[in-house]
Amino acid sequence: MFKPLLAATADVALLKFPYYATPKIDGIRCLIMRDGAVTRSLKPIPNEHIRTILSSPVLVGLDGEILTFTDGKRDDFNTVQSKVMRKDGEPEFKLVAFDKFSEPDEAYSKRIIDMAAIYHSNMSPLLPDTITSLEELDAYEQRCVDEEGWEGVMLRKPNSIYKFGRSTTREGILLKVKRFSDDEAVILGTVEQMENGNEATVNALGHTERSSHKAGMIPKGTLGALACEWQGVRFELGTGFSQAQRDQLWAERDSLIGLKVTFKFQGVGTHGAPRFPVFLGIRRDI
């Protein structure tokens, strides 16, 4: 039964170089089947314009991520998701292809040669760099994340197959390397952003401070945080939003409950809650 290949998180202690490395693309996963372009969950790509263009026979068998653009500039994940999920509209887009699932038993090194030989104006092949040491991996990750703005790095063995399902860390068929961990939490509710209207005072160090007395807190009519549950632990996710996202999510607050939100974080605190959680996006069912 076909399933898209999914990555395991890399364990640095288990890495056995060399690897082929590519940036971790933060778009919408897309696979080109014989009956058209589908998402990771094997549902048709919602946007008719994108789906029609990517349903070209020459692209059948490709696995990649859809990126969208505004005036030639790459969109962030939430904008990509919004454009791809909308049925109408003709967004500027590219399929960044990174594998060929129609040749699952061929080595990755062979699959990417076949992938690179395919030409389509809305497809760009993502070809790997060879990484031979941890030092090279660190430098490559820094370039991908800090200079190019990608999520992280993906690693593959040159001779790895295309597994139908998730790779394991020990298999090393597909590994992801990220400074932050990311995961999904369930949205339980929303918290309104408040403005502190309490009187400002000057403390002993000469710094202005305000009390947090509830009577002086003024509702701002926008999102302050998402109340979430993750691995049985409740926490609030309040950073990583643009003002436009805060306003939009607050307007949609009644429809958010039960949806999954993707966030990144740095480890787990003493009470089991994620440390420094940052909003990445809400995963719609596509």
- Regarding whether 78 and 216 lie in a shared domain, the answer is no
- Regarding whether 133 and 13 lie in a shared domain, the answer is yes
Place of tokens 């859809």: 66
For position 3, which CATH number holds? 3.30.1490.70
Sign, CA dihedral 196-198-199-200, equals negative
- Regarding whether 194 and 169 lie in a shared domain, the answer is no
Domain boundary among 146, 178, 210: 178
- Regarding whether 105 and 169 lie in a shared domain, the answer is no
- Regarding whether 202 and 231 lie in a shared domain, the answer is yes
- Give this prediction's pTM: 0.76
- Regarding whether 17 and 88 lie in a shared domain, the answer is no
| Residues forming beta bridges with residue 279, ordered by sequence position | 263
- Regarding whether 80 and 143 lie in a shared domain, the answer is no
pLDDT in tens, the chain (286 residues): 999 999 999 988 889 999 999 999 989 999 999 999 999 999 999 999 999 999 999 999 999 999 999 999 999 988 999 999 999 999 999 999 999 999 999 999 999 999 999 999 999 999 999 999 999 998 999 899 889 989 899 999 999 999 999 999 999 999 999 877 889 999 999 999 988 766 666 655 455 555 556 666 788 899 999 999 999 999 999 998 999 999 999 999 999 999 999 998 877 876 889 988 989 999 877 6
Number of domains observed in the structure of the chain: 3
CA angle 17, 21, 23 (to 5 degrees): 150
Range of the domain at 140: 1-24+127-178
